[in-house]
Amino acid sequence: MIKFLTKTLCLAFILLTVNAIAGSNNSFRFAPGITSKDYLPNTLVLKVKPAFRSQCTNNAIEVAQLEQIFNSIQVSDLFKIFPNHQPPAEPFDRYGRAYVDLSLIYQLEYKSNADIVKIINALVATDVLEYAEPKYIPTPQYTPNDPSIAQQSFLTRINAYGGWNISKGDTNVVIGIDDTGSDLDHPDLAANLKHNYNDPVDGIDNDSDGYVDNFNGWDLGENDNDPTVNANTHGSHVSGCAAAVTDNGVGVASPGFYCKFLPIKISDAGGALTKGYEGIVYGADHGCNIINCSWGGGGGGSFGQNAIDYATINKDVLIVCAAGNNNSNQYFYPAAFNYVLSIAATNGTNDNKAGFSNYGNYIDVCSPGNGILSTLYNDTYANNSGTSMASPIAAGCAGIIKSYYPSYNALQVGEKLRVTADTIYSFGTNNTFRATNGLGTGRINLLNALTISSPSVRMNPINVVDNNDNLFVVGDTLRITGDFTNYLDPTTNLTATISVASSPSTFVTILDANTTLGAVGTMTTVNNNADPFTVIINPSAPQNAKITFKVHLQDGAYNDYAMFDVIVNVDYINITVNEVATTNTSKGRICYNANLAQSEGLGFTLNAHNTFAYETGLMIGNAGDVSDVVRNAAVADEDFASINPIQKHDPGIWSDFDTYGRFNDNPAAASLGIEVGHRSFSWAFAPDSRYHIFEYVIRNNGSTTLSSLYAGIFSDWDVPSYANNKANEDVTSKMGYVWSTDSNLYAGIKLLTSGPWNHYALDNIAGGGGGIDISAGFSSAQKYQTLSTSRATAGVAGTGNDVCDVVSTGPFTLNPGDSVRVAFALIAGESLVDIIASAEAAQIKYDLITGVDEVNNVDGISISTVYPNPVSDNAAFNIHLDKSQQLEISVYDILGNHITTVAKGVQPAGNNHYTFKTNSWSDGMYFLRVKGVDKNLNKRFVVGQ
């Protein structure tokens, strides 16, 4: 019932909340399958952090960082969604759960046509908001009428008659119908309508709740006191499914019998469900014990979870939700949220899963939903089918349970209905869903719920760690622990056993499958931290394999299950060894493995700042053809395929964190016939803690010479607010960089290898700002142009705009069988001086770890060897200059530590002789570096024997 066990684990910890949320850096991304039809255009929901409460009013957030963004996106309206709410007086409830504060949640409407994801990430990057997200618009969950089933056989199926012999409910128990409204004078509804006698219809807000004359409920969609259906009659049918008047000699009966219902209209004049989660809050604030939500969609979000948390924790209300009608196991919200009783549908006359009903490990229980006869607007009746019908039938039963067990809290009511359901996996094709508990515990049984005593233990949260980097790859041993809360009758000797529920069990080996939890009292929590489940990932596991685990809970006759997914053998590695957290992948992407979704990775974050990167990846082009893994238009190119998945050297060989792998471009429509070996290098401590090095060795595996080959890194930088970025270059460092005009934060890409350097800055706006226009797509021809031509700046006007950057090297001629090595440093910093210093440090480190060839003569500078070699006490060397010039001559040890500066400043033309002492140095290899204005020379020498 408590939706604890339905999310996919990619890293170390899950607590099931949302489907479109932040990664570890709080960046927003849409869940798969979400389109613009799933949310209101140009509308966001924001929640301000409590620290800024004093700067918040009902229609303004007076924080400079936000106001600047508000101006850039042309905000047209901003208002508190719950203006009458105050922060909770106490932080926690009696079970230690944090109360939810709704008082700082705003709706924002704007006119800009900028990318909504970029706007959200810019807002979150201010560090003023707890979240920013779209305003999701769900749809009612019903399917067309099924005229072959016209009676209420479902009442027998759920044993309602036997349940009514024990309890017919209580008029003090209220079921909120959060829907498109109801039919207030329907002869089979009117007597069960819950009235607000504290606010009669007299034009006055008598109860001072902010709603004038909400005697019969409220119409949130059109903001009036008449919750009667208009454009969409869905809610009138749902009302009767839960709470039609029973035993009155008229029409139909309902499971809720004597329980009352409160209509909460959430649809606008056109029937769109614009106020679903606000309706949950309204119902919670106005006396509902249960709230039914027969609607939903693929869009979740923190706002929806906040509303449910508030209703559950702050107001002790049970939220019952339809699981959706897509015949899919994809997450469906609000049913997949935490603290929700999610209802799948069975046929009304048997217990087979209804063909339309969703299924999956987020389902708690099933209820009849096919051919359900119920009330309809204008005093009529109709048969409708859908999880929209199954959900209120379950909500009506929950009303009876609450009536019979008035001391139960909301979650206990839901658990009682869930744990006493009849198992149905032996019927029809239901066995298909048995392994993963895709139909929950079975079909509800009201009589069982009122007569059977049983524990009900749920596992939440679930923690999965590998005691290392928490990226679960072959050979890792996973340690799985959790909290086990018993909501109902005490256990005597509770045990928990883990198994693999789906995917070949050969992908993993369970080393320790059992733990004993013992006696667990009502509303008591225990854990298995001292005796974790342990699982090892086998070499047979394919990349990104989803392993569904089942934890079997048993205590005598009591059997229950917890389900959760873990993604193993991931083809990306998060790098968190230094101040810049990022991700490297098996196929040329950097920052995110799923780049346009901004998922499967950390982005590119400097300390506590939000991610600097929206999308980053390698591009390799020849004669106009480009192989890459960055955007083309609405989707990304997938031209690289992994040959050897990315792995980590542990411990690092060349740096504190080394990765390596290999891919080719065989999937590309115009394949170049290349194979790429790649490595990355990262260090933990300054001066090397603000960059990562990415190296690519590109081999021509084809039979044709590649005569104009370029390779480069593309990055759509958002530093951190996309709308206020400028791009420029530092020629001396061979670096292109982007910075924020409102925060003085910088990101750069530096070429490290010795080939030609090229930089192209793009204005990522309609028209391209005078350069290449990629606002409608990024073609291969455009990509090759950015690799092979130059543009120094972007975002030059005003405070800047959204920009992208490409740093590349070439052209190279690559004969069949030949290779070329290219390497780049990706850098973050807090000033231009900062990233230039990191660029210099990266060059030094890269030269050391790659064994750079010694260079004796470059453009008028000649250097001799260091002598004697090995050196014991005093070292000497000579430099000949064709003309006087600025030089910096330094010595570094093999780890890249600066040892001494031999000379710095303008050096005269002609022969120059230099000496330095080494008598106090440790024996080993050293590195003499001569840095000119735009050139470097290197010499190795040995101190000691």
Return the pLDDT at 87: 95
Backbone angles phi, psi at 173, to 5 degrees: -90, 130
Largest CA distance in the chain: 114
Residue pair 686/594 in contact (Cβ under 8 Å)? The answer is no
Known catalytic membership, residue 236: no
Q: How far lies 222's CA from each of 214, 219, 340, 460, in Å?
A: 13, 6, 27, 39
What's the predicted TM-score (pTM) here?
0.78
Q: What was the pLDDT predicted at 653? A: 76
Identity of the residue numbered 490: P
Query: In this structure, what DSSP letter does residue 392 have?
Result: H
The pLDDT of residue 146: 33
**Pairing between β-strand 910-917 and β-strand 874-881 as defined by DSSP bridges:** antiparallel
Q: Are 835 and 848 in contact (CB under 8 A)?
A: no
What pLDDT shows up at residue 503?
64
Q: CA–CA separation, 567 vs 472, rounded Å?
A: 7
Is 898 a residue of the active site? no
Q: Is residue 388 annotated as a catalytic residue, yes or no?
A: yes
Q: What is the DSSP letter of 57?
A: E
Paired with 46 in beta bridges are: 106, 132
Burial (0-12, 13-18, 19+ Cβ within 10 Å), 534:
middle
Enumerate residues 6+ apart whose C-beta is below 8 A from 398.
Answer: 175, 290, 318, 320, 341, 413, 414, 417
Cα–Cα dist 646/623, whole Å: 29
Read off the pLDDT of residues 471-524 as tens digits, 9 standing for 90 and up.
Answer: 788 889 999 999 999 999 999 999 999 999 876 678 999 999 999 999 999 999
Q: Which one from 234, 286, 678, 692 is the annotated catalytic residue?
A: 234
Pick the closest to residue 742 from 705, 675, 795, 679 (CA basis).
795
Rg (CA), the chain: 32
Report the C-alpha gap between 845 and 826 in whole angstroms: 14
Residue spans of alpha helices (H) in 170-301: 234-243, 276-285
pLDDT at position 927: 83
pLDDT for the residue numbered 506: 87
DSSP string, 876-922: EEEEEESS-EEEEEEEEETT--EEEEEEEEEE-SEEEEEEEE-TTSP
Please state, in angstroms and rounded to a whole number, the distance separating the CA atoms of residues 753 and 812. Answer: 13
Residue 903: CB atoms within 10 Å: 14
Q: Which residues of the chain have pLDDT under 70?
A: 1-27, 141-151, 503-504, 851-859, 894-896, 933-936, 945
Q: How far is it, in rounded angstroms, from Cα 803 to Cα 775?
A: 11
- State both tokens at 738: 């982007």
Give the 3-state secondary structure of residue 358.
coil
Catalytic residue among 103, 388, 733, 740: 388
